[in-house]
Amino acid sequence: MSTVFDFSAAGIDGKPVDLSAYRGKVLLIVNTASKCGFTPQYKGLQKLFEQYRERGFEVLGFPCDQFGHQEPGTEAEINSFCELNFGVSFPLFAKIEVNGKDAHPLFAHLKAEAPGLLGSEGIKWNFTKFLVDREGRVVSRYAPATSPEAIAKDVEVLL
């Protein structure tokens, strides 16, 4: 059975990142966008990352432009926007697709392991979040409207 650690993705700098590098850590994997009503969640994600990183927690941000063209920038623009506006220091990755035939294999796995409402696998909008345990198993899926602060108690349980 595959886990999140069996996948790789391009970092925001275009270099390949093997997710096995995060083995043993609790992960919150999020599809993000810079021009979305939920974009201010970057602040909460950064706060969660800072609060728990020393205990083995990482936030992994995956920019996606599939929802309302809300992530139109280049990787360099996205990275700069996140750093300047929200102080993001957690890992960001290159833009990906999360739905459809070109969905990144990691997100195909996440969706299969933690379906949404009524068993639907498709991601409905930016800032859908997946909580992953230290063994790389998907534990929970959270809707875009769920704030990072509301996830803190679930992160604590896994740490």
Distance, in Å, from the CA atom of 56 to the CA atom of 38, rounded to the nearest integer, reads 26
Q: Give 32-73 pLDDT, tens digit per residue.
A: 999 998 889 999 999 999 999 999 999 999 999 999 999 998
* pTM score: 0.95
Note the CATH number of domain 4-158.
3.40.30.10
Full DSSP string of 57-73: EEEEEEEB-TTTT---S
At 97, list the tokens.
């697709």
In this structure, the chain runs to a length of 159
Distance, in Å, from the CA atom of 49 to the CA atom of 121, rounded to the nearest integer, reads 26
Q: Give 10-38 pLDDT, tens digit per residue.
A: 999 999 999 999 999 999 999 999 999 88
148, 41 contact by CB (below 8 A): yes
Which residue ranges make up each domain of the chain? 4-158
Beta bridge partners of 31: 62
pLDDT band at 157 (very low <50, low <70, confident <90, very high): very high
Judged on CB neighbours under 10 Å (0-12, 13-18, 19+), 98 is: buried
Q: How many Cα atoms within 13 Å fall on the side-chain side of residue 99?
A: 13
95, 78 contact by CB (below 8 A): yes
Residues annotated as catalytic are: 36
Provide CB contacts within 8 A for 14, sequence distance 6+: 75, 94
| Residue 119 confidence (pLDDT) above 70 | no
